[in-house]
Amino acid sequence: MPKTKKKDGVEQIVAKAFAHPLRVQILIILNERVASPNLLAQELDQSLNLVAYHVRVLEKYDCIELVDTKQRRGATEHFYRATRRQFLSDAEWARMPQSLRPGLSGAMLKSVFDDIEEAVKSGSLDEKEDRHLSRTPMVVDKEGWDQTTALMNETLDKVMDIQAQAQARLAKSGEDGMTTKVELLHFPSPKPS
């Protein structure tokens, strides 16, 4: 499949790649592990043809890459991993067409809810005494909104640095790592009635 044309800017590529909620769900999974369209179709309870189509779109826009192939019953199964996180920068989100935002938000929130449900059911949510869980309703002005948003972005950057450092230590020590999830949300809430 042809790669994106040079005239497409990052925001256009992101908008096209993320234009369907199923592609966002696929990207979320491929950010966590390597999988084939067949495995993705089973996990997402979607047809293989539909998932394979969306995988090709994500590959076209360089959001995923082929990492392995295996022969299965006379066919070749292709395995992919994400090359781009499902996170959108503030600039990318601002340039995202308004019509695509609800689908993107819905797909991301579905993953957040699935993560939480899985952790509650397995008991891992409350396994550690020092886990963090908070809900903080606030009333802020524009400056407070901007400061909170900047802090969330800084926090995400720091979390990614921590992950990179941990990966380096784990590679050196040969230990198994602890799987964790960090879910960050900051959004305007409707006024109480």
Whether the per-residue pLDDT at 5 is higher than 80: the answer is no
Average pLDDT, integer, range 31-49? 92
Q: How confident is the model at residue 87 (pLDDT cuts 50, 70, 90)?
A: low
Domain ranges of the chain: 1-109, 119-188
Token look-up 């579905």 returns 110
* Overall CATH class of domain 1-109: mainly alpha
Contacts of 62 (CB under 8 A, 6+ apart): 3, 4, 13, 83, 84
pLDDT value of position 2: 40
The pTM assigned to this predicted structure is 0.66
- CB atoms inside a 10 Å sphere around CB 126: 10
Whether the per-residue pLDDT at 119 is higher than 50: the answer is yes
Whether the per-residue pLDDT at 168 is higher than 70: the answer is yes
Phi then psi for residue 78, to 5 deg, are: -100, 135
Instruction: Report which of 103, 108, 84 is spatially closest to residue 11, judged by C-alpha positions.
Output: 84
Whether the per-residue pLDDT at 41 is higher than 80: the answer is yes
